[in-house]
Amino acid sequence: MKKIVLKPGREKSLKRHHPWIFSGAINPVKVPLEMGETVEIVNSHGEFLARAACSPKSQIFARVWSFNKNEEITPEFLRRRLENALSRRLRIAQKTSAFRVVFSESDGLPGVIVDKYDSYLVVQLLTAGAEYWKETIFSLLEEVVPCDGIYERSDADVREKEGLPKRAGLVLGKQPPEYIEIHENECRFLVDVCSGHKTGFYIDQRENRRILIDYVKGAELLNCFSYTGGFGICALHYGAEKVANIDSSAQALRLVDKIVELNGMKPENVENVEGNVFQLLREYRQQGRDFDVIVLDPPKFIESAGQVKKAGRAYKDINMLAMQLLRPGGFLFTFSCSGLLAPELFQKIVAYAALDAGKNIHIIRRLAQAEDHPVALNFPEAGYLKGLLCQAAD
């Protein structure tokens, strides 16, 4: 096995079992490397540190499979990791028909994302190591997680940073239907796994949609960046009077209509608006519209560290506008899925937004991603979703 030697003093993060090795931490590699092949990481004295998948074209040169010197990276190793990931989620599987089976580094499988929608699996392979083992991973998934079909959605932009082409399509089994029906929090949803966002549905917000239940009875709710209406559908099911969904995708909003019908809800209680959220909120402010509950769940505004400042202005703007539309005593569910935005900075941005809005706002609860998106203590980067449940003073 080829060895990658770290520069002196660059092994500290690996000693803490952080799974990433950056290109700047290694000595020049004099042997040719195959994308994704397993290499041994050693310190400057030649002492073993880890076995990892190499990605020579990425800033993250290698991602650790195992810190155990006696553990070889084989199909059996991958099977154990998949089985362990599934076993940790059996309790969740009893409550919903849609959940994340594998969450990348947090499950010891860097770059491997597996979501289960009813009887179908949707897989994203986002790193060179995951790509290297793709055939084995697909074959093992079919055995470990019985399903009708496996559909691949390795079409995320992050693959380009690994020097990998985007790819999507059926891998094994039957082609998924146009919409897969799932259930969550007593609601029914339709998921487009072939062309929807990410793998088709925002599973990571499941528990926050459940929290929403306690705040919507008799309320008028504004659901911004609604996608296929997850928060809005949940609100209507649990007693909201009216819901307005805003999204830039007409296709997503058409699916909201189908989901409203699927759940036997009254279409007159739902307003779907296609457009730019920033612009529409300004128009609502001008019109004097207001709401009891507002949900802000924007897409990721930050792709690199250099975008944090600009994105901070966008988060501040959108939160200020939402607060100005909030009725006295109303509730704001505000989120950021930008992993590069620290929770402390997000809170500070929301605080400045309240100041500019001229509102007295209290945080009554902190929100995070669902439990099937765990954060390994040695990999805090997995904690990307952060949220605040805020209340406007009467």
Active site residues: 337
Cα separation, 362 vs 175, in Å, equals 48
Residue linked to tokens 């339709």: 190
To the nearest 10 degrees (0 to 180), the angle between helices 75-87 and 134-144 is 40
Return the CA Rg of the chain: 22
Q: Is 267 helix (H, G, I), strand (E, B) or coil?
A: helix
Residue 147 · residue 120 · CB < 8 Å = yes
Residue 305 · residue 342 · CB < 8 Å = no
Q: Is 98 helix (H, G, I), strand (E, B) or coil?
A: strand
At a CB cut-off of 8 Å and minimum separation 6, what does 159 contact?
Answer: 126, 165, 166
Cα separation, 261 vs 267, in Å, equals 7
Cα separation, 186 vs 346, in Å, equals 32
Residue 150 · residue 112 · CB < 8 Å = no
Q: How far is CA 152 from CA 26, 122, 129, 183, 239, in A?
A: 33, 6, 16, 22, 37
If you write DSSP's letter for every residue of 136-150 in order, what string do you get?
A: HHHHHHHHHS--SEE
Cα separation, 218 vs 289, in Å, equals 17
Q: Where are the alpha helices (DSSP H) in the chain?
A: 12-15, 75-87, 90-93, 128-132, 134-144, 158-161, 206-212, 230-237, 250-262, 277-287, 308-324, 343-357
Q: Which amino acid is at 202?
A: Y
* Spatial strand order in the sheet of 326-336: 270-274, 242-247, 220-224, 291-296, 326-336, 386-392, 361-368
Cα separation, 134 vs 112, in Å, equals 9
